[in-house]
Structure 1
Amino acid sequence: MSNAFAVAGVTAALQRLLRERLAAADAATSALPANFVVSAEAPDRITQDNGAASRLNLFLYEVAPNTGWATQGQPIRDFNGERVSNPPLALDLFYLLSAYGVADLDAEILLGHAMQVFHEHPGLSRENLNALLDPTENESAAGSPKNFRKQAVLLAGQVETVKVAPVYKRPDDMSKIWSSLQSHYRASVVYQVSVVLIESRRAARTPLPVLTRGVNDRGPAVQPVLLAPLPTLLAALPPGRQPAVNAGGKLKLFGHHLRGTGLKVTFTHARLDLQLTMQGTTGNNPPLVVRAPDPADADAGERTQIPPDADACVVVDLSQAVGNLAAGWYSVALSLRPDGDSQTRTTNSIAVALAPQFVTSGTGAPVVTSLGAGKYRVKLNCAPPLQVGQPVTLLLGQNELLPPQPLATAAPTVSFEGALPGAGDYLARLRVDGVDSLFIQRPATGPPVFDATQLIHVT
């Protein structure tokens, strides 16, 4: 199994291959430049000062994803975000092979021999990689640290052979490469190395094989409708055609295949580590009531919001869970064992907003204090209580007031400070986690109006 050392392992293997083959050619002909060097540096770091030796330089200048392996092992995660496969990271490496000569013809001699080496070795087999990255050799012979080679030699175990092929660039393309490197041009050739697989060691789930398809292997059950045969939620309607439901209100969940036993509803807060499960459909005042959608039980505006495919309505009485909720956005799902089914099923999740509330008169009414210079402090009692980390603001008319400091503990009371134009009655909106308190009344007939009970008087 190859790992993240594979990229550097390819560079080290190619560098040693060139060094050994050119040394053999020099031993046979004694015609190569004296004391030549095979390096793997960035071109802008190479200087040919007096006394410098001729050299070949192999520089990795581009890394690109391999398109042939792009869809292997997909998908990586399931709908719950759990890892179900570990597809390898497949890469193509592009190298710039350059020659630097001290004397005339030195660069041409080195470049010609290097191109012949890669022409005769168009790929790095497992045997080549095991020999070039042998971790048992000393560092002077191998040219790289032993601990590095212990990791890089795992590249030899990848399922696909590493191939080396020239990529002939036009003069203008080669000029762009050297211009981006901010170095003087040298005779050079581009080589593509493909494919390098970096495999993950993260644990993944591997499902068991399917042994039977349905009861007695009779195959899947089909139905002459387009609706899914499983419990499904289609819509959540707060009372009064409001965009959110108050803590203590009744939320209607519409869907199909929602009749059965063991019905539970689960609220999961979008930001807080808060989850609430409610169950129970029997008794004088059950928290959950399952009934058929009844257009006659809804006003004219609400009737248009009932999905036509809904055959059941679950009414959730949130008044029985006020102490366990916080304002904000929730995902809501039902779980039940449908009639005629032997398994417990969980529906899809839909979004529901729970609105904050505050008292505007009588006991617990807002306390407004003038701080001078047009600034005021407003102290509110909120329900449900605010939780640590929840963003909260108070809007009076179009003016926004903020808490003087973040909440340190969960509390039902919070103070806000800010500037106001002057005395008067202001329509108040308490905004918690992006959800506003309900400040608009939506009558069955006529246009919507502002709720007169949501006014705060400032003197």
Structure 2
Amino acid sequence: MSNFLAIATVTAVLQRTLQAAIQEDVEGARVTTLRPADIGKGTPVSGVNIYLYQTALNTAWNNTDHRGRHRHSDTAKRSRTALDLHYMISVYGNEVELEPQRLLGSVVRSLSDAQVVREEMIQETLSDSNYEYLAESDLWQQVEEINFKPMDMSLEDLSKVWSVFFQTPYALSMAYRSTVIMIEGQTPAQKALPVASRGLAVAPFSGQPLITEIASMTGKFEPIVADSTLLIRGKRLQGNHTGIRIGAVEVTPSQVSEGELLLPLVRLPTHSLRAGVQSLQVVHQSQTPTPNRPGAWRSARAALVAPNHQVGMVSNASPFLLRPTIIDLAVTITQGQEEELRSAAIQITTDVTIASLQQVTLILNERTVEHPAAYLFEASHRTTDNQSITVEVDDVKPGEYFVRIQIDGAESSLNIDPEVTSPTFGSFVGPTVQII
């Protein structure tokens, strides 16, 4: 959150960012912050004008309580207001030399690269002698991210905005929104003391299990993959018959106690594992008799899902991220010769099933220290679930590439050389693919 100078600081950052770009693209162009009616009155022959024409409350942030957040070396404040800023960015210049259109292209490119307002951008603006009046601004301390995004406005909507600028000739323009700017009050926040003791009460679900943490057995910050063992921590986890439900599958943990459960993911059917965010619940089951019918039997796998139990008490649903692992790579088609850019089809096999509706992205990073190339490619639509997927890549520089795959936001890991005596110790060594 920030003080009353936040709005002016965002405008100054926008002005300084655009000035650095357009002065290289159109000689003599300047960025101004005037009312549209004042364009041409002492302004440069060509340039960009930024006008803040509307401020709007950001309902989502205003309905969220952030009083407990502390800024750097300051106390939390009782009140805060979240705002979105709406800017009209107009361009003008020599129409014969298409200067307005060149300037608009420069603006769009610059704000595409600078969509997120970084802390260093704010600090550089505040240290600029042209903005001495903003020296007391503390926008750089704001925790919430600030973005510049173009607004999709029709010609009719754009005309309505310009109509409020009475008798002002229209100039080629685009509207941008900056979100979110948090302005806080000056009164410190207060919070009552917690309840010291509670009287006797009957909780309707006093025995309900509670999950507080899910991690890999190898470490809290280690990735969870298909062969990981989950460490599930919480309260009241042990029941007469304790099961763990992941998606639509229910399995039995390998170790059970009141505060911890262990679950090797290999106990789940292979086809049921999906990369991405998974939902896990602890289930306390009540046992029911098994029908005594001739020939009745259950396999070891079927016994894990406890079909002869009925659900008694279910915990909260807790998420964890299951990351895929690449187990095989192959380049099936390559087109291009000598120094030409290549087109290829890369087949990736993972240790989990990739559903047809999951979003898959292939990530390539050239294995070199001199100007390494990097590429992202989206997988095409698929009609079946499979552990293998083929992604077509285009305009790729020939060379060796580190390969990662991202499935619904869950990204595979690169292998690191663990050998102390190896020249590549501590560096990435795979998986890689050659595109030649």
TM-score calculated relative to the size of structure 2: 0.42
TM-score calculated relative to the size of structure 1: 0.40
Q: Of the two, which has the highest radius of gyration?
A: 1
Judging by fraction of residues, say which structure has more helix: 1
